[in-house]
Amino acid sequence: MLKIAAEGIAPRLAACCWIGSSSAQSSCQKIAPQAAKATQKYLTQSQALLKKLVIKDHYEFDQKVINSDNPVIVNFHAEWCDPCKILTPKMLELLENSSEIDLAVIDVETNLDLVETFEVKAVPAVLAFRNGVVVDKFIGLVDANSIETLIDKLKRKQQQKQ
C-alpha cells in the first residue's frame, strides 16, 4: 500500500470510490490496472524480504534455522566480499517462487561463534539445513544451475517428507 501511495495512485482510487459520476468511474477503470501492477510488485518485493532471514546471533540461528519447519539455506557472507554481493541477490531471485525454503544470511564479521561452529574458512559459504542438520553445502560463487540444483534437492526431500 505504501508503494501505491508513493506513486500517487491511492489518492486517485479513493477519489473514484467517493465520486459517483461516470467520468470518475471511467478514470477509475484506467487507473485500476496500474494499481494492480504496483500492488503485485510491492507484494513480490515484500515476499522476498520475508524469505531473507538476517541472523544476528547464535540464539536467532537456533530459532530461525535449527528449529525451522522449512529447509533453510544459510549464506555466510561479508560486506567486503564482492562474490557475496552477487550470490545473495541471485539466491533470493531463485527462491522467489518457493514458499517452502527460507534463506538465512549471516555476516561472518559479527557472528564469529557461528563461523567457528560451522568451520567457515571462506566466503561466501552456503549450507543447506533440514531439521537442524546440514544436508548440503558449497563454498564460493557458483552458477545459477548449481543453486537451482540445491533448491530442487531441498524441495524434493521436503515433498517426500509430507
Domain ranges (residues) in the chain? 52-155
Average pLDDT over every residue of 58-62: 96
> Which residues, 6 or more positions from 82, have their beta carbon under 8 angstroms from its beta carbon?
none
Span of 38-47, 97-106, 123-132 with lowest mean pLDDT: 38-47
Distance in angstroms between the alpha carbons of the first and the last residue of the chain: 35
17 part of the active site: no
Q: What is the pLDDT of residue 99?
A: 86
> CATH number of the domain at 52-155, please?
3.40.30.10
Check whether 6 has a pLDDT greater than 80: no
Check whether 146 has a pLDDT greater than 60: yes
Q: What's the pTM?
A: 0.68
Average pLDDT over every residue of 87-107: 93
Q: What is the pLDDT of residue 2?
A: 37
Which three three-digit cell numbers place residue 102? 527460507
Q: What is the pLDDT of residue 98?
A: 84
* Candidate list 16, 17, 28, 81, residue with the active-site label: 81
16 part of the active site: no
Average confidence score pLDDT of the chain: 79
Strands 102-107 and 52-55: parallel
* Candidate list 16, 17, 28, 84, residue with the active-site label: 84
Check whether 110 has a pLDDT greater than 90: yes
Angstrom distance (rounded) from CA 21 to CA 23: 5
Residues 148 and 94 sit within 8 Å (Cβ to Cβ): yes
Check whether 93 has a pLDDT greater than 50: yes
